[in-house]
Structure 1
Amino acid sequence: MTRLVDWASGKLIKVINVSNFLDTETSPKIERCEYLTSYNWFDHPKHPTILVPGSPPLWSPSLSTKRLDEDSGEYFRDPNAARYSRYPIEPIFRALLAIHPDANLSSFDIIGCGSTLGNLLRFCGGIDKDFRFDIDRIGDTVFFIRKESSPTALIPSVCGYGHSFPEAHTMWEPDVKGSASHQRIIQYDFGGLKFLVRSESDGYLKQAVDRNAQLNDAAMANTSEDLPELKETLASEADNYSLLEDLRVSGGPSSTGGPLHIEMRGRRIPQKAIFDLKTRAKETRRPIDMDEVYRRLWVNQTPYFIFAEHFRGSFEPRNIQPMFVSNEISKWEIDREALLKHYQAVIMEILAATRGSATGKLQAIRRGSGSLKIQERIAGDDVLPYDLRSNW
């Protein structure tokens, strides 16, 4: 468990306990989800570089059994902070304005990521976990900024095949070759608030992109009344498991010094084609925690999940299961109504505390199974450079 004793904070502003919330009649759900932009971190030897819109790795398992070496090496907990510690969330807005120069940034209530929002969901679900994140306000927009013990904090005791498996079954396509990760930015409404969410994508499925293109072509040739039916047809056909080619990921270190460089390369991949993946040893008798999986996919609105079982590092094609899980995520959302009411209430508490703060610079801290504490932040660095802040 991460030790938080070194996490410096100021005056205690609020203590949040889920048990104090009264039940409400609302049933909060994610609505109007839209993919906005994306970027790849590119391994440039001299300066931090992103490719906009970039594209995620293309996926295909081998047609034959493949034995892999166990994970080794060093992996950053937060690749965005590790590659650009100066302003870890700046790439979000450089990528967004590159694609949507007229975007109204002040229209967002919450700007967060899969890590910060996922940790709040775990807190609401009573799951023990130490975490902290910075909270900043620009105008009425509140930012949740992931915060590790240091920008270059590493994942401890790396083991298993969670890295070697995707490295062996995906590749960066020629226009984005040399990339190290793909970051996606989506927007959606939840609980009366407008969210902008960044998350890292494991990859995409080519056939799902082709189907999306077919949908768009068909929409151009039909009236607007036909579009809902076309979307339903696309979704019903999407759980096709033969979405494969033989490809591979590459990656390496990158400089963190100097200003952020932007290159317009790659292509926009629709959200309907994005997947998350997980590996597990067949010897492990414990069933996969699908509640944790759906929680992560719900936050990121990722429609595909690929589960790969192995026996001592040997992956057979029949044990690699791509699944279209949008319907399951929708069911999870309905079944977790009480959890999501608490999640909505916690976010509203944080929002009120931050908007009521004189400095707009706070920090959320939770230790183990304890309360969520909102404290003033001693460090007062700006969350974004001035030219971006002026968009508010």
Structure 2
Amino acid sequence: MSGSSSFRSRGRGRGGAGRFTNSAPSTPLPPDRDLMEGLRPSPILTLQIPTTPSGAKDVVISNLESIGSYNWTTDTAPTIIVPGALSHSPIAGSPPEWQNKAPPYQVPADIGLFFVDQNGFRMPSAVLLPLITAVDMVHEARGSPAAFDWATGFDFVTDRNGLRKLMRWIDGAGADPPPRDFRIDMQLAGSTVLLNRWERRTRENFSGYSFGFNFEKASTDPALGCEQSTGHHRVIKYDMNGLKMVVRFEVDACIPSAAPPSAASKSVGSIDDLADIFASTKLGARAAPAPPKTSHGLTVVQGGAAIPHASVVELTTRAEHRVADFDWKDAYPQLFFSQTPHHFLAVHNRGRFSAVHKRKLGASELRAVERTIQPSLKKFRAALDVIKALVVKHGQRGRLTLVCRDGKLAVFERESSANCLPDEVIARFEN
């Protein structure tokens, strides 16, 4: 959901009662983390924005495949719902379903807390672990005899958020003001570079002047069994001009199939409730769902069937007086890096929504936007080569971090040699 021009406010709350972490107008939060926390004081290198030859090929994404998805739940212990082999399970790790509600309609202003980075909030010491776990479970549910192969073929495993930050660094060269400061922690696992999202704060209070999250709440219904979900994440893999990428991103909504309505008659309040529903559901000759299991501090509930990538929707809201100024140069990479096929731009006047402009990724209007940003995409693609070569040079024991301050991107070493994933998970990237 992109309901505000603030970079920090691009986090999300989601799903029924769990869309927001608190309904109070303002909740005290911990102080912001220091951008240089845990880093050695002097950079080892300052990266320059690459130059690309005039004949460089356009950046193209090919061989797209969805390989995993999951929903966070409201449970105190970190718990995700991962689609399993049971296509008719009552619990589906799915995004909210777009209801195509006819405007106009009024929604209240957003209040309370929302997540900036839910993965970082719930799994701060292993932000990529839910991604790995979800991919493994979906791979197993598809009947594959061997475990998912993380050891060959991938150059980067990352959140879409990190790719967008690097694009903003490239586009912000010489800008006033410069792009917002950011940090990305990196580690080499086998021959794969792991890019770990890092935020000063993982939750934020709404200002009370935005309407995007309540628009989503009014315009979607939670998928069956996901009433207490607090966010749906999707994992895809693709080729980007020779780089093999695994990318995680959060999904605002999906276009539902012609299946029966998704609203469940029974509320799911805890991991035990989820297990009870699994146990009581009659599935004929189908095997019972696997019981919840916990590994490395993450509990996994299996169920449901993954939605097709073609149904994924990015929701964005804008006030009527700002629609003409919508920044497609900044917004398009969000669609591009996740290959999100649908973009819905909802227009409002103080929360009264009057129209929803729907666009498809392959439409001529958005193809024109892509052509205008190809020079930046080419520099971005070249920057990924530089970053990978640097991380590989420092080897398995290297602990490097990218820090962008005042538009300058520098590389620092971390003081700690701790792995960003459990040791046995890191080992799966090694041949």
Flag whether TM exceeds 0.5 (same fold). Answer: yes
Task: Tell me which residue corresponds to 2:171.
Answer: 125
Task: Tell me which residue corresponds to 1:91.
Answer: 130
1:300 Cα deviation after fit = 1.1
Match of residue 103, structure 1, among 140, 148, 164:
148
1:15 Cα deviation after fit = 1.4
Q: Structure 1-normalised TM-score?
A: 0.81
Task: Tell me which residue corresponds to 1:388.
Answer: 425
> How many pairs does the alignment contain?
350
Letter paired with 2:36:
W
1:110 Cα deviation after fit = 0.5
- For the Cα contact (< 8 Å) 1:61–1:246, is it kept in 2? no
Letter paired with 1:322:
K
Task: Tell me which residue corresponds to 1:44.
Answer: 75
1:276 Cα deviation after fit = 0.3
Partners of 2:269 and 2:48 in 1: how far apart?
42
Task: Tell me which residue corresponds to 1:226.
Answer: none
Match of residue 410, structure 2, among 373, 376, 380:
373
Partners of 1:114 and 1:155 in 2: how far apart?
23
Does the alignment pair 1:31 with 2:62?
yes
Task: Tell me which residue corresponds to 1:7.
Answer: 36
Change (3 A) 1:325 1:251: farther
1:62-119, CA deviations, whole angstroms, 9 ceiling, x for partnerless residues? Answer: 3353211101101121111112223111011111111114321122110111110001
Partners of 2:382 and 2:206 in 1: how far apart?
33
Does the alignment pair 1:341 with 2:341?
no
Change (3 A) 1:4 1:385: closer
1:183-239, CA deviations, whole angstroms, 9 ceiling, x for partnerless residues? Answer: 000001012110000000001002xx46xx9xxxxxxxxxxxxxxxxxxxxxxxxxx
1:246 Cα deviation after fit = 10
SS of aligned partner of 2:131: helix
Q: Structure 2-normalised TM-score?
A: 0.74
For residues 97-176 of structure 1, what are the structure 2 equivalents within 5 Å? 97-101=136-140, 102-106=147-151, 107-126=153-172, 128-150=179-201, 152-154=202-204, 157=207, 159-176=209-226
- For the Cα contact (< 8 Å) 2:50–2:383, is it kept in 1? no
Task: Tell me which residue corresponds to 1:325.
Answer: 361
SS of aligned partner of 2:46: strand
- For the Cα contact (< 8 Å) 1:111–1:144, is it kept in 2? yes
Partners of 2:392 and 2:268 in 1: how far apart?
40
1:307-351, CA deviations, whole angstroms, 9 ceiling, x for partnerless residues? Answer: 1111121123xx122322323444433443221110011111110
- For the Cα contact (< 8 Å) 1:39–1:95, is it kept in 2? yes
1:264-287, CA deviations, whole angstroms, 9 ceiling, x for partnerless residues? Answer: 123211111101011111133652
- For the Cα contact (< 8 Å) 1:176–1:265, is it kept in 2? no
Task: Tell me which residue corresponds to 2:236.
Answer: 186
Partners of 2:255 and 2:360 in 1: how far apart?
11
Partners of 2:319 and 2:54 in 1: how far apart?
41
1:379 Cα deviation after fit = 3.0
Does the alignment pair 1:197 with 2:247?
yes
Letter paired with 2:81:
L
Change (3 A) 1:332 1:251: farther
SS of aligned partner of 1:31: strand
1:154-210, CA deviations, whole angstroms, 9 ceiling, x for partnerless residues? Answer: 26646311111101111212232311100000001012110000000001002xx46
Partners of 1:97 and 1:373 in 2: how far apart?
34
For residues 268-287 of structure 1, what are the structure 2 equivalents within 5 Å? 268-284=306-322, 286-287=324-325
**Structure 1 residue ranges without an equivalent (≥5):** 214-244
Does the alignment pair 1:295 with 2:341?
no
Partners of 1:104 and 1:191 in 2: how far apart?
21
Tell me which protein shows more helix as a share of its residues.
Answer: 1
For residues 58-77 of structure 1, what are the structure 2 equivalents within 5 Å? 58-63=97-102, 65-77=104-116
Does the alignment pair 1:363 with 2:413?
no
Change (3 A) 1:258 1:43: farther
Partners of 1:353 and 1:4 in 2: how far apart?
26
Partners of 1:287 and 1:121 in 2: how far apart?
20
RMSD: 2.9
Which stretch shifts more, 283-292 or 266-275?
A: 283-292
- For the Cα contact (< 8 Å) 2:97–2:222, is it kept in 1? yes
1:113-134, CA deviations, whole angstroms, 9 ceiling, x for partnerless residues? Answer: 1110001111122262211110
**Structure 2 residue ranges without an equivalent (≥5):** 1-6, 9-31, 84-92, 141-146, 272-294
- For the Cα contact (< 8 Å) 1:14–1:353, is it kept in 2? no
- For the Cα contact (< 8 Å) 1:168–1:247, is it kept in 2? no
Partners of 2:361 and 2:270 in 1: how far apart?
34
Letter paired with 2:192:
T
Q: Percent identity?
A: 28
Partners of 1:252 and 1:289 in 2: how far apart?
40
Task: Tell me which residue corresponds to 2:3.
Answer: none
1:361 Cα deviation after fit = 1.4
Partners of 2:426 and 2:305 in 1: how far apart?
27
Partners of 1:288 and 1:153 in 2: how far apart?
25
Change (3 A) 1:284 1:173: same
1:293 Cα deviation after fit = 2.0
Partners of 1:114 and 1:313 in 2: how far apart?
29
Change (3 A) 1:121 1:252: farther
